[in-house]
Amino acid sequence: MVEQLTVELGERSYPIVFFGGADAGVFVLEKIRQTGRSVTALADSKVWDLHFPKNDDLLCLKIEGGEASKSITCFDNACEFLATNRIARDGGLIAIGGGVVGDLAGFVAASYLRGIDFYQVPTTLLAMVDSSVGGKTGINIKAGKNLVGAFWQPQVVYICTEFLKTLPPEEFSAGMAEVIKYGMLYDAKLFDQLEALEHDLTWDHPELSAVVRRCCEIKAEIVKADEKETASSGGRALLNLGHTFAHAIENVAGYGTYLHGEAVAIGLVLAAKLSVRLVEAGRSGFAVSDEDVIRCHALIERYRLPTDLRISLHRVAGDLAAPKLSIEALLDAMRRDKKVRSGKLRFVAMEKIGNAVTVDDIPEGWIRDIWSEAGAE
Amino acid sequence: MVEQLTVELGERSYPIVFFGGADAGVFVLEKIRQTGRSVTALADSKVWDLHFPKNDDLLCLKIEGGEASKSITCFDNACEFLATNRIARDGGLIAIGGGVVGDLAGFVAASYLRGIDFYQVPTTLLAMVDSSVGGKTGINIKAGKNLVGAFWQPQVVYICTEFLKTLPPEEFSAGMAEVIKYGMLYDAKLFDQLEALEHDLTWDHPELSAVVRRCCEIKAEIVKADEKETASSGGRALLNLGHTFAHAIENVAGYGTYLHGEAVAIGLVLAAKLSVRLVEAGRSGFAVSDEDVIRCHALIERYRLPTDLRISLHRVAGDLAAPKLSIEALLDAMRRDKKVRSGKLRFVAMEKIGNAVTVDDIPEGWIRDIWSEAGAE
pLDDT exceeds cutoff 70 at A21: yes
Lowest mean pLDDT among A205-219, B86-100, B244-258: B244-258
Of B166, B186, B217, the domain-final residue: B166
Interface contact flag, A151 B115, Cβ < 8 Å: yes
**Of A376, A341, A127, A325, nearest to A231 (Cα)?**
A341
Bridge partners of residue B149, in order along the sequence: B138
pLDDT digits 0-9 by tens, B76-120:
999 999 999 989 888 999 999 999 999 999 999 999 999 999 999
Report d(CA A349, CA A329) in Å as an integer.
22
Query: In this complex, is the C-beta atom of A149 within 8 Å of any C-beta atom belonging to chain B?
Result: yes
**Distance (Å, rounded) from C-alpha B63 to C-alpha B104?**
10
Does B144 contact A at CB distance below 8 Å? yes
CB atoms A88 and B335 under 8 Å: no
List CB contacts (< 8 A) between A113 and chain B.
147-148, 338
CB contact under 8 Å between A150 and B111, yes or no, is yes
The span from the CA of A240 to the CA of A219, in Å, is 11
Instruction: Characterize the bridge pairing of strands A2-7 and A14-19.
Output: antiparallel
B150 and A79 within 8 Å at the Cβ level: the answer is: no
**Coil vs helix vs strand at B149:** strand
- How large is the average pLDDT for residues A133-145? 92
Angle (CA) B356-B359-B364 rounded to 5° is 130
Contact B308, B375 (CB under 8 A): yes
pLDDT tens track for B316-359: 544 445 678 999 999 998 987 766 666 678 899 999 999 999 99
pLDDT value for B317: 44
Inter-chain residue contact B113 with A151, CB threshold 8 Å: no
A335 has a chain B CB within 8 A of its CB: yes
pLDDT of residue B145: 83
| Known binding-site residue numbers of B | 99-103, 123-124, 136, 145, 163-166, 178, 243, 260
A317, pLDDT greater than 50: no
Is residue A77 scored above 80 in pLDDT? yes
CA gap B359, B347 in Å, rounded = 5
Count CB neighbours of B149 within 10 A: 26
Structural element, H or E, at residue B185: helix B169-186
Residue A92 has what pLDDT? 93
**Burial class (CB within 10 angstroms; exposed 0-12, middle 13-18, buried 19+) of B351:** middle
- Do B211 and B141 share a domain, yes or no? no
Q: Which of B84, B88, B340 sits opposite A88 (nearest CB)?
A: B340
Q: Cα–Cα distance between A120 and B230 in angstroms, integer?
A: 23
Q: Kindly list the residues from chain A whose CB atom is less than 8 angstroms away from the CB atom of residue B112.
A: 147-148
Contact B118, B82 (CB under 8 A): no
Instruction: Provide the mean pLDDT of chain A.
Output: 92
Q: What is the pLDDT of residue B23?
A: 86
Task: Give the angle A237-A238-A239 at the CA atoms, nearest 5°.
Answer: 90
B143 interaction partners in chain A (CB closer than 8 Å) = 79-80, 83-84
Q: What is the CATH number of the domain that holds B131?
A: 3.40.50.1970
Amino acid at B290: D
Q: Say how many C-beta atoms besides its own lie within 10 A of residue B276's C-beta.
A: 17
- Considering the domain architecture, whether residues B308 and B192 belong to the same structural domain is answered as yes
Q: pLDDT value at position A86?
A: 87
Say what the pLDDT of residue B100 is: 95
In terms of domains, do A261 and A130 share one? no
In this structure, of A203-212, A299-308, A309-318, B23-32, the range with the lowest mean pLDDT score is A309-318
Contact present, B209 and B161 (Cβ < 8 Å): yes
- Output the 3-class SS for B204-252: CCCCHHHHHHHHHHHHHHHHHHCCCCCCCCCHHHHHHCCHHHHHHHHHH
What confidence score (pLDDT) does residue A313 get? 57
What is the C-alpha separation between A139 and B369, in angstroms, rounded?
45
d(CA A117, CA A113): 11
For the segment B35-45, the average pLDDT, to the nearest whole number, is 89
Q: Does B231 touch chain A (CB under 8 A)?
A: no
pLDDT of residue A156: 95
Q: Which uninterrupted H or E stretch holds B342? A: none
Q: For the sheet containing B156-159, what is the strand order?
A: B2-7, B14-19, B156-159, B117-122, B91-97, B38-44, B59-63
User: Cα(A253)–Cα(B190) distance, rounded to whole angstroms?
Assistant: 62
Rounded Cα–Cα distance for residues A178 and A155 (Å) = 23
Annotated binding site of B for Zn(2+): 178, 243, 260
- The residues that bridge with A44 in the sheet, in sequence order, are A63
Indicate which residues of B carry an active-site annotation: 114, 136, 178, 219, 229, 236, 240, 243, 247, 260
Per-residue pLDDT tens for B188-202?
999 999 999 999 999
Chain A residues close to B228, C-beta within 8 Å = 114-115
User: Considering CB atoms only, which of A86, A136, A228 is closest to B335?
Assistant: A86
Which contiguous run of DSSP H or E holds residue B307? Answer: none
Which residues have a Cβ under 8 Å from the Cβ of A332 and sit 6 or more positions away? Answer: none
B197 and B230, same domain (yes or no) = yes
A207 and A340 inside one domain: yes
The CATH number of the domain holding residue B337 is: 1.20.1090.10
Instruction: Search chain B and give the residue with CA nearest A145.
Output: B113
Quick one: average pLDDT of B216-226? 96
Active site members of A? 114, 136, 178, 219, 229, 236, 240, 243, 247, 260
Task: Give the pLDDT confidence of A258-290 residue by residue, as tens digits.
Answer: 889 999 999 999 999 999 999 999 999 999 999
Subunit contact A111:B76, Cβ cutoff 8 A: no
| A142 and A231 share one domain | no
Q: How far apart are CA A353 and CA A351, in angstroms?
A: 7
Report the distance separating Cα A233 and Cα A146, nearest Å.
21
Nearest Cβ partner for A141 among B79, B340, B343: B79
What would you report as the CA-atom Rg of chain A, rounded to the nearest whole angstrom?
Answer: 20
Whole-number pLDDT of residue A315: 55
The ipTM estimated for the assembled molecules is: 0.91
A8 and A89 assigned to the same domain? yes
User: For chain A, what is the HEC assignment?
Assistant: CEEEEEECCHHHCEEEEEECCCCHHHHHHHHHHCCCCEEEEEEEHHHHHHHCCCCCCCEEEEECCCHHHCCHHHHHHHHHHHHHCCCCCCEEEEEEECHHHHHHHHHHHHHECCCCEEEEEECCHHHHHHHCCCCEEEEEECCEEEEEEEECCCCEEEECHHHHHHCCHHHHHHHHHHHHHHHHHCCHHHHHHHHHCCCCCCCCCCCHHHHHHHHHHHHHHHHHHCCCCCCCCCHHHHHHCCHHHHHHHHHHHCCCCCCHHHHHHHHHHHHHHHHHHHHHCCCCCCCCCHHHHHHHHHHHHHCCCCCCCCCCCCCCCCCCCCCCCCHHHHHHHHHCCCCCECCECCEEEEEECCEEEEECCCCHHHHHHHHHHHCCC
Q: How confident is the model at residue A319 (pLDDT cuts 50, 70, 90)?
A: very low
Shared domain check, B195 and B134 = no
Average pLDDT on A227-243 reads 93
A202 and A317 housed in the same domain: yes
Q: In A, which residues are within 8 Å of B343 by CB distance?
A: 88
Closest CA to A83 of B97, B72, B114: B72
At A131, phi and psi to the nearest 5?
-70, -25
| Same-domain pairing of B176 and B155 | no
Interchain CB contact of B114 with A (< 8 Å): yes
For residues B37 and B148, membership in a common domain is answered with yes
Residue A111 is nearest to which of B83, B150, B338, comparing CB atoms? Answer: B150
Distance (Å, whole) CA A357 – CA A274: 12
- State the best of A71, A87, A114 to mutate against chain B, taking most chain B CBs within 10 Å: A114
Task: Transcribe B58-120 into DSSP letters.
Answer: -EEEEE-SSGGGSSHHHHHHHHHHHHHTT--TTEEEEEEESHHHHHHHHHHHHHBTT--EEEE
**What is the distance in angstroms between the Cα of B244 and the nearest Cα belonging to chain A?**
15
B175 and chain A: CB distance < 8 Å anywhere?
no
* Number of domains comprising chain A: 2
The CA distance from B140 to B171, in Å, is: 20
- Judge if B222 and B311 occupy the same domain: yes
- Residues facing A43 on adjacent strands: A62, A96
Per DSSP, the three-state class of B33 is helix
How far is it, in rounded angstroms, from Cα A363 to Cα A344? 10
Which domain-ending residue is among A166, A196, A221? A166
Measure the CA–CA gap between A294 and A273, rounded to whole angstroms. 10
Out of B166, B196, B211, a domain closes at B166
- At A341 the pLDDT is 61
Name residues whose C-beta falls within 8 Å of residue B23's C-beta, 6 or more positions apart in sequence.
Answer: none
Rounded-to-integer distance, Cα A97 and Cα A166, Å = 12
Question: How much is the mean pLDDT over chain B?
Answer: 92
Of A183-192, A327-336, B122-131, B219-228, the one with minimum mean pLDDT is: A327-336
Which amino acids of A are annotated as binding site for Zn(2+), given as ranges? 178, 243, 260
Name the residue of chain B whose CA is nearest to A144's CA: B83
pLDDT exceeds 80 at position A318: no
The residue segments making up the domain with residue B112 are 2-166
Contact A221, A6 (CB under 8 A): no
Q: How far apart are CA A160 and CA A208, in angstroms?
A: 11
Interface check B90 vs A, CB under 8 A: yes
CB contact (8 A) between residue B150 and residue A150 = yes
CA distance B40 to B85: 9
Contact between residue A311 and residue A323 where contact means Cβ atoms under 8 Å apart: no
Distance CA B295, CA B269 (A): 10
Closest residue on chain B to A115 (Cα): B150
Would the CB atoms of B336 and A86 count as touching at under 8 Å? yes
pLDDT at B190: 98
First to last CA, chain A: 51
CB contact under 8 A, B111 and A149: yes
